[in-house]
Amino acid sequence: MSEFLESVDPSTGAVIGRVPITPTDAIPAIVARAQAAQPAWAELSFEARGAKLAAAVDALLAEADELGTLIAREMGKPVREGIGEVRAALAGVRDTLREIEAALAPEVQETAHTRSTLFRDPYGVAACIAPWNFPLLTAHDQVLPALAAGNAVVFKPSENTPLVGEAYARRLLEHLPEGVFQIVHGAGPVGRALVQSDVDLVVFTGSRETGRSILEEASRSFKRVILELGGKDPMIVLDDADLDAAARFAARSSFRNAGQVCVSTERIFVTNDHHDVFVRKLVEEHDIDPTAIRGSGREGRVTKADVLGYLASTQPATTGFDDEARPQEPGVGGGRREQRVPMTRLRRRIAERLVEAQHTAAMLTTFNEVDMSAVMALRKKYQEEFQKRHDIKLGFMSFFVRASIEALRRFPQVNASIDGTDIVYHEYFDIGVAVSTDRGLLVPVLRNAENMSFSEIEKTIADYARRANTGDIGLDELTGGTFTITNGGVFGSLLSTPILNPPQTGILGMHKIQERPVVVDGKIEIRPMMYLALTYDHRLIDGREAVQFLVHIKESLEDPARLILQL
């Protein structure tokens, strides 16, 4: 037997790394170290334990792209899904810790004649055994609550994803006291030895077969066990279902996480009345030529099973690094090769919308510049307190959203739209925020943004960005905006002319903040400056209103107190 676990890229079969297998006879000593470290860890206040765990999670979030790419290489899912798993697992850790603290609080129970208090103490040492399909998400869901509650943890990642387990463990080991968290590697024998050891709790996520074995082994010594066992949940399409939405969900979920997820839609139940319509919509969602599918139903009718079987047989092997066809790099020797790849459905839709905007609106762009000194000073002064209270960083976008709303109040035509020969004035402010993803640009909408606080704006945008990159954002969240803000500055753009998002009549373009010499009170000073661009529909908005609108945003940002006073 090899003394190392080799990590293999499933798309190529190449070995990308290896870790030493933990000898089974070393497990008792590892558990003993955890038992020795656990009492002092449990004696710490919850706040002290939470601070150390939050610091470790912050370090992991700082390398989310690298972790997500590693997940893709070891597990086989697309990179964007790997990064999405990291962010989904680790985002909002301080909110999670507050929920755990509340759950651990003493609970007073009273009857007519008695009064008792229930205290919750840690188990001791928890063995956490994670699966390979969500190697970081499930591991973190096991490890974080156990450690936060005052337990010590011995963690065994899947033998198929040891490098992800090592990367996760490395940050925890850096921030936690020695012995409180330890990692072991290996396949079945190591897991069996861990369950048979003197741990107090076994937490396992994985197959029913392995879960049954763990339960049998743990029952011999009356160990507490928490099992989350896998399966294939059915998708049931009822009579009153939105068939378009159901087909979209089925198409997306069939291959989500490379099909390795308990909610993969491999079993779909549809009522007889809706069967044919649902199958047709499923075919349309996957851009399949219906004549290419051999029907197995009566008189050669195509069934949903035929569609899913066709998709399974024709789905190209993934490299784990993208879900969209990309051109090959030019070969050595200066060959003049070309490669034709189909546009994705999203890219085609983006192209259609851009052309529609050019053909239907009389677009014109006006420019101004804003001194960002006041906003940057405000962020620097209150960033730490803001982040501690709201568990989100204070960014620039919330200032621009609030400044835009105040300007839209003064110039309602910029918040309006044209419907035929009518002008529709919206008395609410649904602000679209452009988000870049691997598949293209998406514009989720902040509904009733005028009622949102700075922290709510920042949290909602962060959530949209995360879900846009994982493909979990809903169609209803991408439609109906009244005004859009886009930030080319994150890519280094100094100046641009943004294109309208029909039927909206205005879009604000933010750009890179760059120090430039400017004249202030007759003196030349170096200030952090940003160019602003407003593209507007000249059919509805005159140049004077457009310029004044942009000036109002500039004044609000250069004197942020105006945002609070709504001036």
The per-residue pLDDT for range 111-137, each reduced to its tens digit, is 888 889 988 899 999 999 998 888 888
Q: What is the pLDDT of residue 143?
A: 92
47-61, 70-84, 256-270: least confident range: 256-270
Asked if pLDDT for residue 322 goes beyond 70, the answer is no
Specify the pairing of strand 523-537 against strand 445-446: unpaired
Among 121, 242, 476, 542, the one annotated catalytic: 542
Confidence of residue 314 (pLDDT cuts 50, 70, 90): low
Sign of the CA dihedral running 358, 363, 368, 373: negative
Query: Using an 8 Å Cβ cutoff, are 33 and 179 in contact?
Result: yes
pLDDT attached to residue 330: 46
Contact present, 383 and 86 (Cβ < 8 Å) = no
Q: Is 390 designated active site? A: no
Cα–Cα separations (whole angstroms), residue 563 to 27, 189, 393, 450, 515: 60, 63, 19, 11, 24
Amino acid at 446: L
Under CATH, domain 235-314 is a member of which superfamily?
A: Aldehyde Dehydrogenase; Chain A, domain 2 (3.40.309.10)
Q: In the annotation, is 538 catalytic?
A: yes
Pair type for strands 440-442 and 483-487: unpaired
Q: Look at domain 4-229 and name its CATH class.
A: alpha beta
Mean pLDDT for 210-234 is 84
- pLDDT confidence bin for 326, thresholds 50/70/90: very low
Confidence of residue 356 (pLDDT cuts 50, 70, 90): confident
Domain ranges of the chain: 4-229, 235-314, 347-565
pLDDT digits (tens, 9 = 90+) for 154-189: 999 999 899 999 999 999 999 999 999 999 999 889
- pLDDT at position 146 over 60: yes
Sign of CA dihedral 24, 29, 34, 39: positive
Identify which of 168, 218, 225 has the alpha carbon closest to the alpha carbon of residue 196: 218
pTM for this predicted structure: 0.50
Residue 255 has what pLDDT?
Answer: 59
- How many degrees, rounded to 5, is the angle at CA 277 between CA 275 and CA 279? 70
- For residue 238, pLDDT beyond 80: yes
What are the residues whose beta carbons fall under 8 Å from the beta carbon of 115, sequence distance 6 or more?
108, 109
- Give the chain's mean pLDDT: 84
pLDDT attached to residue 29: 95
What percent of the chain stands above pLDDT 90?
Answer: 45
Q: What is the pLDDT of residue 153?
A: 95
pLDDT for residue 331: 45
- pLDDT of res. 271: 81
Of 260-274, 419-433, 474-488, give the lowest mean pLDDT range. 260-274
Of the listed ranges 16-25, 363-372, 469-478, the one predicted with least confidence: 469-478
Lowest mean pLDDT among 45-59, 66-80, 315-329: 315-329
Instruction: Outline where DSSP puts E strands in 398-471.
Output: 416-419, 422-425, 431-433, 435-437, 440-442, 445-446
- What are the residues facing 124 on neighbouring strands? none
Question: Can you tell me whether residue 323 is helix, strand or coil?
Answer: coil
Q: How confident is the model at residue 248 (pLDDT cuts 50, 70, 90)?
A: confident
What is the spatial distance between Cα 507 and Cα 482, in angstroms, rounded to a whole number? 9
Question: Is 3.30.559.10 the CATH classification of the domain at 347-565?
Answer: yes
**What proportions of the chain, in percent to the nearest 5, are helix, strand and coil?**
45, 20, 35
- pLDDT of residue 493 exceeding 50, the answer is yes
pLDDT of residue 333: 47
Is 332's pLDDT higher than 50? no
Distances from the Cα of 177 to the Cα of 90, 128, 202, angstroms: 21, 18, 22
Higher pLDDT: 280 or 439? It is 280
**Cβ atoms within 10 Å, residue 60:** 21
Other C-beta atoms lying within 10 Å of the C-beta of residue 236: 12
Confidence of residue 329 (pLDDT cuts 50, 70, 90): very low
* Residue 327: predicted pLDDT: 44
Residue 519 has pLDDT above 60, yes or no: yes
CA dihedral 158, 164, 170, 172 (to 10 degrees): -70
What pLDDT sits at residue 183? 95
Q: Catalytic: which of 240, 538, 552, 559?
A: 538
Peptide bond into 20 cis (omega under 30): no
CB–CB of 427/477 below 8 Å?
A: no
Q: Residue 43 — very low, low, confident or very high, per pLDDT cuts 50/70/90?
A: very high
Res. 395: pLDDT tops 50: yes
**Over the stretch 522-548, which tens digit does the pLDDT of each residue have?**
999 999 999 999 999 999 999 999 999
pLDDT exceeds cutoff 60 at 14: yes
CA dist 357 and 556 (Å) reads 29
User: Residue 385: pLDDT above 70?
Assistant: yes
